[in-house]
Amino acid sequence: GQQLNQSPQSMFIQEGEDVSMNCTSSSIFNTWLWYKQDPGEGPVLLIALYKAGELTSNGRLTAQFGITRKDSFLNISASIPSDVGIYFCAGHMPRAGTALIFGKGTTLSVSS
Amino acid sequence: DVKVTQSSRYLVKRTGEKVFLECVQDMDHENMFWYRQDPGLGLRLIYFSYDVKMKEKGDIPEGYSVSREKKERFSLILESASTNQTSMYLCASSLSDYGYTFGSGTRLTVV
């Protein structure tokens, strides 16, 4: 099936640092979403992007829908220990009756 | 808030057993999905359903089947469990095509 290329695969950072991760695709997407999964739980939606070029913030999180509609990035500013988890990008293709496609995830570790 | 409830957090089953994973959502969502999550592979879609009694194959349907007899319930069935089906299984539901709500997952071990 269609794949999203998410990078980096993992990150080890110090508390207070900024974090950036991104997702790319060879196909156009109508929607980009970013999810976070805490250990032992299901993913939770962080940010949804619906228009090319859209830049959206949610607290310390900022995400952008790429102009080409083939990429998106997520930034986390001033990281804190509770930011630890797996971050997934997901996209929806412009074709009815399809499900979200997920990236393989970025595992974030934060040391205090 | 929408709640998606998966009946078991942890399951241990024997090879060859028929396994049922149950998922119930309480917000009248049309769409329900089953994914499996494996380290380094992300979330892979097994089956999804956009309506009662309707099902669509995802990317990895082999060895699985599903049942959606009622709108709120979507069951994943492993006809004859194998060790390569040891994984975390995640159920999700949505009203639109975009905002999925996930359950907490079922970690299945097949021995």
- A50 interaction partners in chain B (CB closer than 8 Å): 98
Q: Between A and B, how many residue pairs show a Cβ–Cβ distance under 8 A?
A: 59
Of A42, A50, A99, the CB nearest to B58: A99
Q: What is the C-alpha separation between A57 and A48, in angstroms, rounded?
A: 10
Chain B positions touching chain A (beta carbons under 8 Å): 4, 33, 35, 40-45, 48, 50, 56, 58-59, 90, 92, 97-105
φ and ψ at B83, to 5 degrees?
-65, -30
Contact between A37 and A51 (Cβ < 8 Å): no
Band (pLDDT 50/70/90 cuts) for residue B78 is very high
Which chain B residues are closer than 8 Å to A40 by Cβ? 104-105
Pairwise pLDDT comparison (B77 vs A112), residue with the higher score: B77
CB contact under 8 A, A6 and B41: no
CB A30 within 8 A of CB A90: no
Residue A56 has pLDDT above 80, yes or no: yes
Hey, is B71 helix, strand or coil? Answer: coil
pLDDT score of B35: 96
- Cis ω on the peptide bond leading into residue A8 (within 30° of 0)? yes
Is A103 close to B56, i.e. CB distance below 8 A?
no
Query: Residue B6: helix, strand or coil by DSSP?
Result: strand
Mean pLDDT calculated for residue range A93-98:
73
Looking at the complex, report in whole angstroms how far the Cα of residue A1 sits from the nearest Cα belonging to chain B.
Answer: 6
Residue with tokens 């949804």: A48
d(CA B6, CA A99): 20
CB within 8 Å: A41 and B104:
yes
Token pair of A49 as six digits: 């992007």
* Per-residue model confidence as pLDDT tens digits over B48-66: 999 998 999 999 999 999 9
> Are A24 and A5 a contacting pair, CB within 8 Å?
yes
- Asked if B102's CB is within 8 angstroms of A42's CB, the reply is yes
If pLDDT is split at 50, 70 and 90, which confidence band does A93 have?
confident
